[in-house]
Structure 1
Amino acid sequence: MGRPDKATRAAITQRRADAIDLRLAGVDWLTVGRKLAADPGINSDRIAYPQGYGIERYKKGQEPPGDEQLINAACKDVRQALKERTTEQDEKADELRAVENLRLDRLFFVAYRQAVKDGDLPAIDRALRIMERRARMNGLDKPAKTEIVTPPSSDSELTVIALDELEALIGISEEAASGSDE
């Protein structure tokens, strides 16, 4: 079949954007699938959506996709569109990080030169702050170690319980507290 042409790719991108817009508006998956279906017989607007779901079947005069297939197609489109948007955001963040690193390079150069040349304590502090900022921004610092500390006693132990058990315990505690107020 090959890669779709530019117009087809643009229509698919638009379909995915429409699918996201419909989901954001609270439209259920099946309605999204029907609204974006290629076959006017099942399309909720009774028009052939360009590059809609089941376009190949429609072009061949075959039966349109069923409800489950429409739902799956709509879900797949939204997942793909969100993945593409996330990738774009990650790429933009990488570009911005590169620009920020260049800015930090310039600032660091000035502060470092003063710190080394003159032994200027404020310049040393400034250079260290720039280094700390770069390390945080680029994820160079190791995460802080976190541990749970309990008071030492012979009867203290950590217990794993399900959420419904916890809610039941809280309910019992609240009933006991309200009963003692009466």
Structure 2
Amino acid sequence: MPASKAQQAETAERRAALIRLRLAGVPFDDDRILSLGYASRGAASKDLVRALEERRDEQDAAASVYRQQENERLDALLEAVWDKATKPSPVYSKDREYLGDEIDLKAVDTVLKLMDRRAKLLGLDMPVKTELAGPGGGALRLSAVSLAELNDLINTAGDPNAPDGASEDDDALYDPNDDDQDDDEEEGDGH
């Protein structure tokens, strides 16, 4: 049997209080949460999940109504411009001399923008595929590399952080045995 209006209101009030307490960082096993009528920490946690799912469902429904409304608006705008974009109409010179029939290119542009907006609204466009490639367009190597290989890469590409005109040969290499490397950098900064 569905809950009565009074029970629904009581549940909504309890969940609102639970959400406020959780937003304030109060743990589920705190007396302030348990005093809302929860038998255990688990019951409070489960009710919070229910409240969030209910809210998500309400938001999904609202978003669906919004999409439908926007779709109807796009339909009306598209209908208003469609004939100008698809059917040639007479074109006259300033002297009112007939030049021929043409479609309205501004209307075509408007139709394309409306169609693009609808595709975005409804998620109709295919996802963009991206591909990562290694040096020279070859395969991208995803295995572990040695320190020597990393240093070779740095030497090949150059140090992106090296100041203009600085020698990259010595500064770019990382030496794991150089405990003073960080200290040298700090002394150079004047610290």
If the TM-score is normalised by the length of the shorter chain, which range does it land in? 0.5 to 0.7
Deviations 1:19-39 (A, max 9, x none): 1110001111111xx3344xx
1:94 counterpart residue number:
64
Which one has a larger percent strand, Structure 1 or Structure 2?
A: 2
1:121 counterpart residue number:
105
1:7-18 paired onto structure 2 within 5 Å: 7-18=6-17
1:167 counterpart residue number:
none
1:106 counterpart residue number:
76
TM-score (norm 1): 0.68
2:32 counterpart residue number:
35
- Residue identity matched to 1:25: A
2:54 counterpart residue number:
84
CA apart distance, 1:178: 2.7
Q: Distance in 2 between matches of 1:180 and 1:99?
A: 64
Do 1:15 and 1:36's aligned partners in 2 also have CA atoms closer than 8 Å?
A: no
TM-score (norm 2): 0.65
2:182 counterpart residue number:
178
Do 1:29 and 1:71's aligned partners in 2 also have CA atoms closer than 8 Å?
A: yes
Deviations 1:101-151 (A, max 9, x none): 111111111221111123111111110110011011101111000111221
Match status 1:75 vs 2:60: no
Secondary structure of 1:72's aligned partner:
helix
1:58 counterpart residue number:
none
Secondary structure of 1:152's aligned partner:
helix
- Residue identity matched to 1:122: K
Q: Distance in 2 between matches of 1:153 and 1:95?
A: 47
Match status 1:142 vs 2:126: yes
- Residue identity matched to 1:94: S
Identity %: 39
Residues 1:8 and 1:152: Cα distance change in structure 2 (over 3 Å): same
1:5 counterpart residue number:
4
Secondary structure of 1:29's aligned partner:
coil
Which one has a larger percent helix, Structure 1 or Structure 2?
A: 1
Q: Distance in 2 between matches of 1:26 and 1:4?
A: 30
Residues 1:151 and 1:177: Cα distance change in structure 2 (over 3 Å): farther
Do 2:67 and 2:121's aligned partners in 1 also have CA atoms closer than 8 Å?
A: yes
Q: Distance in 2 between matches of 1:154 and 1:102?
A: 48
Question: Larger C-alpha radius of gyration, 1 or 2?
Answer: 2
Secondary structure of 2:135's aligned partner:
coil
Instruction: Please list every run of 5 or more consecutive structure 1 residues that lacks an aligned counterpart in the other structure.
Output: 38-42, 44-48, 55-69, 162-169
Secondary structure of 2:126's aligned partner:
coil
Do 2:21 and 2:33's aligned partners in 1 also have CA atoms closer than 8 Å?
A: no
Do 2:84 and 2:104's aligned partners in 1 also have CA atoms closer than 8 Å?
A: yes
- Matched length: 143
